[in-house]
Amino acid sequence: MRVLIGGGSGFVGRELTRLLRDKGHDVTVISRQPGPGRITWGELQSKGLPPCDGAVNLAGENVLNPLRWWNESYKKDLFSSRIDTTKALSQAIAASSSPPHSWVLVSGVACYKPSLTAEYTEDSEWTPFDLLSQLVKEWEAAAFLPESAAKTTKQVVIRAGAVLGRDGGAMKQMLLPFWLGLGGTLGSGRQPFPWIHVSDLAGIIARSLEPPADSGAAQPSPQVFNGVAPAITTNYEFTKELGRLLRRPTIFPVPEFVMSALLGSERAVILTQGQKVIPMKTLESGYQFKYPDLTLALKQIVGS
């Protein structure tokens, strides 16, 4: 299978590329930078979709980029880096004379309103309630194929929780403070912390790229899968387990107002609030998690 991955140079994309190549598939990355095995977004727009059997979009400015202040220009980049690239791919698919059989967007669980009690499955109704949920709405809408294209291309949206892995994402920023014994719960610590190991997210994407069992399976609306581990974890449990595996104390809680001052309140919610997200459809699809619980996932990441 030939797979085109927008933003495939990043944390999740590198894992997905490894997995697909191990299975014998060909991968081409769409990037802002030209290079071997890559095309640029400009080339996609000027030359159209290259021949491919599956397409994925993983492009997006990092929401927790520690080098960027929370201001209007950063917010604009968060939106445009996701929506413009997703639109470029969905339009190229719709315009292609030999479209791929599968088109997968990875979005986020920020569409579900943070709550200590509510549980969300892929069937849960939601409407935007803040900036990040508005982002998810516009992002997913940008992936939507017109009816004619949806007849030939299966559309999938995977709503990912915090992606945990050794080589990127939130863990990369967390490991140093935890090693130094400066790790601690964020906000109350009671908030749910929806997470997934990067290897499982790559596995769910790879499965979603497989051709539909019968060609009549292509549907006008995308299939949605929650990309989170089945175990529900709180920030407190996550913090204590990471500290235990690293054999480091976790006695310095970071109050919510400090997180808001450091990150901006609109993005601090990613860490200080959370949702109980259930991967109901993901499990129903038969996907078997390699890292269904936190201890297994963290042991792989910290290597103990």
Binding mask 234-263 for ligand NDP (x = CB under 6 A): ------------------------------
Element (H, E) at 260: helix 256-263
- Candidate list 50, 75, 81, 113; residue touching ligand NDP; CB under 6 A: 81
Q: Of the candidates 32, 76, 244, 247, which one interacts with ligand NDP according to CB under 6 A?
A: 32
178 near ligand NDP, judged by CB under 6 A: no
| Of the residues 3, 9, 27, 222, which one makes contact with ligand NDP according to CB under 6 A | 9
Residues 283-302 that bind ligand NDP (CB under 6 A): none
The correct pick among 1, 3, 17, 31 for binding ligand NDP (CB under 6 A) is: 31
CB of 82 to ligand NDP, least distance (A): 6
Identify the residue among 5, 143, 150, 163 touching ligand NDP (CB under 6 A).
163
Question: How far is residue 6's CA from residue 299's CA, in Å, rounded to a whole number?
Answer: 30
* Sign of the CA dihedral running 198, 209, 156, 49: positive
Spatial CA neighbour of 132 closest among 123, 121, 140, 124: 140
**Out of 10, 187, 194, 274, which residue is the one contacting ligand NDP (CB under 6 A)?**
10
On whether the CB atoms of residues 165 and 198 are closer than 8 A, the answer is yes
Tokens of 302: 């910290």
Binder of ligand NDP out of 3, 4, 5, 13 (CB under 6 A): 13
Q: Which residue is associated with the tokens 């939106």? A: 79
**89 is a site residue for ligand NDP (CB under 6 A):** no
Tokens of 125: 């109704």
Answer yes or no whether residue 229 interacts with ligand NDP by CB under 6 A: no
C-alpha span between 83 and 267 (Å, rounded) = 18
- Dihedral sign, CA of 138, 106, 226, 195? negative
Token reading at 214: 């019968």
Query: Does 12 contact ligand NDP by CB under 6 A?
Result: yes
Nearest-Å Rg of the Cα atoms of the chain is 19
Q: Per rule CB under 6 A, is residue 60 in the interface with ligand NDP? A: yes
Q: Which residues in 94-113 contact ligand NDP (CB under 6 A)?
A: 106, 108
CB burial of residue 176 (10 Å; 0-12, 13-18, 19+): exposed
Query: In one letter, which amino acid is 251?
Result: I
Q: Which is nearer to ligand NDP, 68 or 290 (CB)?
A: 68
Which residues contact ligand NDP (rule: CB under 6 A)? 7, 9-13, 31-33, 58-62, 77, 81-82, 85, 106, 108, 160, 162-163, 168-170
